[in-house]
Amino acid sequence: MGSPLANEGQAVRARTSRSKLQMRFGVDVFFWLLLINPGAEMSQFLEKTMTRRNILQAAAVGAIGVDPALRAAVYAQGSDKPEKTEVKIGFIPLTDCASVVMASVLGFDQKYGVKIIPTKESSWAGVRDKLVTGELDFAHVLYGLVYGVHLGLAGPKKDMAVLMSLNHNGQAITLSKKLADAGAVDGASLAKLMSKEKRDYTFAQTFPTGTHAMWLYYWMASYGINPLSDAKVITVPPPQMVANMRVGNMDGYCVGEPWGHRAIADNIGITAQTSQDIWRDHPEKVLGTTADFANKYPNTARAVTAAILEASKWIDAGLQNKNKMAETIADKAYVNTSVDVINQRILGRYQNGLGKTWDDPNFMKFYDDGFANFPFLSDGMWFLTQHKRWGLLKEHPEYLAIAKQINRIDMYKDAASMTKTPVPKDVMRSSKLMDGVVWDGKDPKKYADSFKVHA
């Protein structure tokens, strides 16, 4: 037994250590540490746990408020511990991969006991194949691609899951400078030119069942152009769009940013229409995985969803965060382009390449108080109606039943609760698209059959 003086010295040192910890990381962390390791061994625990790297990461992720390594240590004590703690998430070089990337870069993943490894992919077909085979655990992926795989359209059939929506808005239809010089600068003038000057017109989308194909088809059809019979439509991976237009392989394309703005910066194309002007706050990319993975690793799926929700909230929190995000994802490891090509449209600062500039309030949203993230059943059903419209589906599917199978709303709600993300009351929503037609999911068969221009 030590002397009273030695014991008093130990007590003072313990109080000092606790005080410093409280000042540096807050009272909540201090009590969490006591919960994990009460008593005199706390100081030894802190020496092992509080490395300089952990401290720096905690400072970088001020929104978390708790050092990721500490939070993971506590998280692991509960029954909701992720079954798989390291996951690969595939992404395509597009601005809307940002929430996946930032969840990893800023350490939001560690807060929930997982490590996200973003994996850069070259095409949507590659993403599809790697999800199906299990080479990827999750993916930043086209909404319509997930539904297409679930139904066996445009590739292998596999039961799939949508865990959350990653963003609304922020895609665009680009027309070549050659078309613009000939007078085709929007849908109406394109239809007029195609009617007057008969030739083979080629347009590109990124995947047959994907969002960009559906925006392109809907836009063209709204002006009386049948994309399947009046033009040739090809599939081109997003990062290759600009290069293909530069050499004259297509007259126009629909793709996500920054490849719309990049065409303007390179003076080879103009923006004829933004996707938010086709459908304001439309669904776009999702966090997708297979049903097998979601069922086998539900805690991991919830943890990853929560981490990306936190990153989404962080991105939308302000101008400084958006600029930091643009600087991060512009790196060659991610999108591989200049920062200014990304950050202008992220901030709603648009130009069409013909001298027109405008501030668009409906720019790409990653969070929007959770509205951009909720996997509305009606959103998934809309893609099915368009797949039927364009002949990808020969018969009407069970629209609502399929959406309920794929969109894991209960799992999303758990993640939303973990992150204090607001959840809408209704799993359906109503929207009016560019042609004035309202989509609300109430009668999908009637809606799918209502279009004059179809396959």
Q: In terms of domains, do 395 and 301 share one?
A: yes
Q: How far apart are CA 385 and CA 443, in angstroms?
A: 10
- Give DSSP secondary structure letters for 169-233: --EEEEEEHHHHHTT--SHHHHHHHHHHS-S--EEEES-TTSHHHHHHHHHHHHTT--TTTSSEE
Q: In terms of domains, do 332 and 383 share one?
A: yes
CA dist 245 → 248, 267, 268 (Å):
5, 11, 7
Phi, psi of 398 (to 5 degrees): -80, 85
Q: In terms of domains, do 388 and 310 share one?
A: yes
Q: In terms of domains, do 93 and 39 share one?
A: no
Q: In terms of domains, do 68 and 95 share one?
A: no
pLDDT of residue 79: 78
**Does a structural domain hold residue 249?**
no
Give the contacts of 231 (CB within 8 A, at least 6 positions apart).
194, 200, 201, 202, 203, 220, 225
pLDDT over 50 at 43, yes or no: no
**For residues 289-303, b (16+ Cβ closer than 10 Å) or e, as one string?**
bbeebbeebbbbbbb
Q: pLDDT-based confidence at 154, cuts 50/70/90?
A: confident
Instruction: Please state the domain count of the chain.
Output: 2
**Does a structural domain hold residue 226?**
no
Q: Of the candidates 46, 75, 104, which is a domain's last residue?
A: 75
Give the contacts of 62 (CB within 8 A, at least 6 positions apart).
none
CB 75 within 8 A of CB 115: no
* pLDDT tens digits for range 252-272: 999 999 999 999 999 999 999
**Does a structural domain hold residue 450?**
no
Q: In terms of domains, do 27 and 154 share one?
A: no
Phi, psi of 367 (to 5 degrees): -135, -65
Q: In terms of domains, do 38 and 93 share one?
A: no
Q: In terms of domains, do 91 and 65 share one?
A: no
pLDDT of residue 26: 38
CA angle 419, 117, 370 (to 5 degrees): 25
Q: pLDDT-based confidence at 78, cuts 50/70/90?
A: low
**Does a structural domain hold residue 299?**
yes
Q: In terms of domains, do 160 and 294 share one?
A: yes
Q: Of the candidates 75, 102, 120, which is a domain's last residue?
A: 75
CB 416 within 8 A of CB 372: no
Closest listed residue to residue 95, CA positions, set 270, 275, 233: 275
pTM of the model: 0.85
* pLDDT tens digits for range 4-23: 333 434 443 443 343 333 33
Single-letter amino acid code for the residue at 40: A
* pLDDT tens digits for range 349-384: 999 999 999 999 999 999 999 999 999 999 999 999
Q: In terms of domains, do 57 and 160 share one?
A: no
Mean pLDDT of 109-113: 98
* pLDDT tens digits for range 196-254: 999 999 999 999 999 999 999 999 999 999 999 999 999 999 999 999 999 999 999 99
59: containing domain: 4-75
Structure-token match 């973990």, residue found: 418
Q: In terms of domains, do 152 and 27 share one?
A: no
More confident residue, 180 or 31: 180
- Domain of 380, CATH number, reads 3.40.190.10
What sign has the CA pseudo-torsion 276, 213, 124, 129?
Answer: positive
Q: Of the candidates 75, 107, 123, which is a domain's last residue?
A: 75
In this structure, of 78-92, 133-147, 356-370, 372-386, the range with the lowest mean pLDDT score is: 78-92
**Does a structural domain hold residue 27?**
yes
Q: In terms of domains, do 334 and 419 share one?
A: yes
**Does a structural domain hold residue 221?**
no
**Does a structural domain hold residue 164?**
yes
For the chain, give the percent of residues with pLDDT over 70: 83
